[in-house]
Amino acid sequence: MPRHGRTKRTRKRKRGNDPRIDLSKEIVTLSKWMKRESISLGFKWKSHLHPAFFTGIGRGMMTKDSLTGGDIVVSIPKPLLITVETVLSSEIGELVKRQKFKLSRQQILSLFLLSERSKGDNSFWYPYISVLPQSHTTFGYLSARELTLLPPKLLTAVKSKIMDIKQAYKEVRDFFPGESIAHEDFLWSWFCVNSRSVFYKLGGSEFVKEDGNHLALAPYLDLLNHSVVAQVEAGFNNETGCYEIRTLDNYKKYDQVFISYGSHDNYHLLMEYGFTLPDNPNDAVMMDYDVVLNSAKSLDVNHLEKKQDLIQQHDLHSKLTCTVEGLSWNLLIVTRILAMDWNELHQWKVVLNGDVISNRNESLSRGIARSFLTPYIQQNRDLLFKFPPESSMTTMEKLISSVVQMERKILQITWTSVS
Ligand SMILES: C[S@@+](CC[C@H](N)C(=O)[O-])C[C@H]1O[C@@H](n2cnc3c(N)ncnc32)[C@H](O)[C@@H]1O
């Protein structure tokens, strides 16, 4: 029972019970362990945070104090980070050092998590491992049916990632010929590392396959959720010997504190982290240059070769996307170039400046845009029909549906903007 008694409870009820402090045995044990180990290692235990549950998001970190930009929100001593050094100095590290072929950092950290998990409460890391999610909703968990619900571009990317993960699993199994590592267990540890690790750069190691992916697990700190607007400075501080997160935002007491995992769109967040954000400003629907060109051809535009040269010279054929703001800059200019007549082609600089060159050009460029949008809208519609009613969707189907709905919204807004 907390010491604060009735007054505090009443105040909390008035706040709508959000956040709800996480008082589970595992979280309490982790918090005590972090404090005890930090102090016994000669560090101060500094954290304004407390794990809590937030409506619509789940578990995250609440601040116990108001925070101002520049405040350090959490600081994890190096010995409590799980780095490649940690692994190399463990039993499993001895095996890693003895083997002829090398594993990547992500494979090494995944193996370590699995090995420590199998020790149960005999593992030093048990308080940390106990709070890790049991499973994930990332690409490695997609069923054959769920794969058919993905937008085509995402499906292509996911298929290639699934191959990579199969290869990573095979290498880990070959690493321990005597041991049987279940695919399910490997997926669990792989995605724990994938979705929870921080960037942590050590010097190279002769025992590590170098792939530029510098990772470490930071217990407790990895309970921080992602927001696109969060601004933080994060990294290892050589003076304090801690991995620190400094917020550049202001927070009121009891607010959820966020960090940014990067400028990711919902495709990336779903596949790598297993969640999506409503109204993610990084969301975009990619258009193929070939589809754009074919639309122009179908509308009998002339001088296509010259126009293609112009587009390529100015590198306008990449980043052809639609967003909630309509056509991206490159896509808008490409449609206007494709709509130019012979006279306008000689004044291409006007178009490249973003100015409307003529009403005729503007009208044709919008026609080209509607023409290349049509197959994408149709594809999106076909996909939406494949989903069951929301009430009977699985968690994964709901998440995929949110990205397909996001595409629908973007395509609709863009269509209206060119109509
Ligand atoms: C580094 S962990 C953050 C802590 C995590 N929520 C937990 O309770 O263990 C990353 C995972 O948190 C979840 N997550 C992070 N940010 C989120 C958000 N804005 N909305 C929903 N889930 C989020 C996703 O499951 C993600 O894979």
Tell me the pLDDT of the chain (419 aa) as tens digits: 334 434 444 444 444 567 999 999 999 999 999 999 999 999 999 789 999 999 999 999 999 999 999 999 999 999 999 999 999 999 989 988 888 889 999 999 999 999 999 999 999 999 999 999 999 999 999 999 999 999 999 999 999 999 999 999 999 998 877 778 999 999 999 999 999 999 998 777 888 998 889 999 999 999 999 999 999 999 999 999 999 999 999 999 999 999 999 999 999 999 999 999 999 999 999 999 999 999 999 998 999 999 999 999 999 999 999 999 999 999 999 999 999 999 999 998 999 999 999 999 999 999 999 999 999 999 999 999 999 999 999 999 999 999 999 999 999 999 999 99
Residue 116 and residue 226 in one domain: yes
- What's the confidence (pLDDT) of residue 47? 83
- Whose CA is closest to atom 9 on ligand 1? 223
Q: Report yes or no on 28 lying in a domain.
A: no
- Cα of 60 to ligand 1 centre, how many Å? 7
Residue 368 and residue 231 in one domain: no
Residue 345 and residue 405 in one domain: yes
| Cis peptide upstream of residue 79 (ω within 30 degrees of 0) | no
Residue 312 and residue 396 in one domain: yes
Q: Report yes or no on 22 lying in a domain.
A: no
The verdict on the CB of residue 105 being under 6 Å from ligand 1 is: no
Domain count, the chain: 2
Q: Report yes or no on 35 lying in a domain.
A: no
- Cα of 58 to ligand 1 centre, how many Å? 8
Q: Which of 274, 265, 267, 259 is nearest to 222 (CA)?
A: 259
Residue 172 and residue 299 in one domain: no
- Cα of 4 to ligand 1 centre, how many Å? 30
Q: Report yes or no on 94 lying in a domain.
A: yes
- What's the confidence (pLDDT) of residue 203? 75
Q: Report yes or no on 42 lying in a domain.
A: no
- Whose CA is closest to atom 21 on ligand 1? 57
Q: What's the rounded Cα separation, in Å, for the pair 298 and 21?
A: 60
The verdict on the CB of residue 222 being under 6 Å from ligand 1 is: yes
Q: Report yes or no on 150 lying in a domain.
A: yes
Residue 123 and residue 176 in one domain: yes
Residue 267 and residue 327 in one domain: no
Residue 265 and residue 299 in one domain: no
The verdict on the CB of residue 132 being under 6 Å from ligand 1 is: no
Residue 372 and residue 301 in contact, taking contact as beta carbons nearer than 8 Å: no
Q: Which of 73, 275, 399 gets mutated to test ligand 1 (max ligand atoms within 8 A of its CB)? A: 275
Residue 130 and residue 167 in one domain: yes
Q: What's the rounded Cα separation, in Å, for the pair 89 and 198?
A: 20
Residue 68 and residue 22 in contact, taking contact as beta carbons nearer than 8 Å: no
- Whose CA is closest to atom 12 on ligand 1? 225
The verdict on the CB of residue 223 being under 6 Å from ligand 1 is: yes
Residue 337 and residue 265 in one domain: no
Q: Report yes or no on 166 lying in a domain.
A: yes
Residue 378 and residue 336 in contact, taking contact as beta carbons nearer than 8 Å: no
- What's the confidence (pLDDT) of residue 126? 98
Burial 199-232 (b: 16+ CB within 10 A, else e): ebeeeebebbeeeeebbbbbbbbbbbbbbbebeb
Tell me which residue has tokens 């896509």. Answer: 331
The verdict on the CB of residue 195 being under 6 Å from ligand 1 is: yes
Residue 115 and residue 249 in one domain: yes
Q: Is the pTM of this model over 0.95?
A: no
Domain boundary among 247, 273, 299: 273
> Domain of 136: which CATH number?
3.90.1410.10
- Whose CA is closest to atom 14 on ligand 1? 225
Domain boundary among 221, 248, 273: 273
Neighbours of 166 (CB within 10 A): 12
- Cα of 162 to ligand 1 centre, how many Å? 22
Is the four-CA dihedral 401, 406, 408, 409 of positive or negative sign?
A: positive
Q: Report yes or no on 264 lying in a domain.
A: yes
Range of the domain at 101: 79-273
The verdict on the CB of residue 57 being under 6 Å from ligand 1 is: yes
The verdict on the CB of residue 117 being under 6 Å from ligand 1 is: no
Residue 310 and residue 173 in one domain: no
Domain boundary among 238, 273, 308: 273
- What's the confidence (pLDDT) of residue 158? 96
